Structure 1
Amino acid sequence: MKNALLALLWLATLPAFGQASEVRPVAFSSHKLSIGILGTYKAVGLQTDYRFIDRWGVKLAGARQFDYDRAKEYGWAGIGLVTYYLPTNSTVIEPLVGLGTVGSFYHWDLAGRSGTVRDWNVGGGFGTNFRFSERFKTGVNILLVNGFRSEYQYQVEDMVITGRRLVVFPTLTLDALL
């Protein structure tokens, strides 16, 4: 798993170091704010990205998970990352890395009982955005979350967090630049 993550990080940052940036496409103007959508194999959501300095920014996202086993279960996640855009000579390719926090909300429903589990933890990500016009970009990113495992505890008659695990979400994004 570790080697696969390192390979994905290398592939995501490769454009920043390659020779492909010698051919300069149309130069797009810089932007401070973008809003868009994101999707993974387990969730869909909305995101925004604000750059307070040329290479530094804040990425905020909210996502809804949809892969639960029971019909009345659902989950939400709020993600806040401080992002750094790696330097490159290309105006089309934007490699980035980020680190921040993830808030999770999991509503469970089991055998006539229900409740919610809330959790705050560390998250991060890396990837590459591709700017294909003056006002739009798309991205391929990997989001890493220190997620939780939960189980129903019959002694306390509630769902509790029983452990941690690394959760990897390959994410596709589409953003409008404002």
Structure 2
Amino acid sequence: MLSEERVRSYAKRKGLNRIIKLMIATDEQRQWIVDNQAGMSRRQLTTCFNNRFGTSFSISQLTSYCRRRGLKADEITRNRKPIGTVSRQGKFLCIKTANPDKWEVMHRVQWESYHGKKIPEGFMIVFADGDCDNLSRDNLVCVRDSIGIVINHRNRANTANPELNKVIMLSESLNAMVNDRERLNKECV
């Protein structure tokens, strides 16, 4: 009699991807997979299956078997991170806000929470002290997109002093308002 390892090795060398079909031979095993696959992650399913039936399938083998049978994991298993989970994506903290995976940038969510309103169209949130992890109320400043781009491009508002950074942001806002007014006056003439 051949060992499972020898059969797997032979199947891999010969490119026989569906050898697991032959290994899951009993109706009891098939029915157990159908009954339990939706409520577990594929890792849990594989561990429980191997423990129950004394087999040694890999996660990818059982996942492949389920996929071929049209057995899909439910919403809870596919989206394992619960709503409210905070994760770093790039340099910003993000929070999961809905299923299926909807993530929002944490500083925008915090600003909206502090002020009780949505960020106006054409505006963005910048950090007064330049620290993307500092989500305190007085560190989050709402500025027009054009100002945020100017501030980030020139890096003028990235000093060590948050109060000075806020003054620089305000002066850039005033400059933008003056430029808008001048542009409007030229168009009206």
The two structures have a TM-score, normalised by structure 1, of: 0.25
Structure with greater Cα Rg: 2
Structure 1 or 2: larger strand share? 1
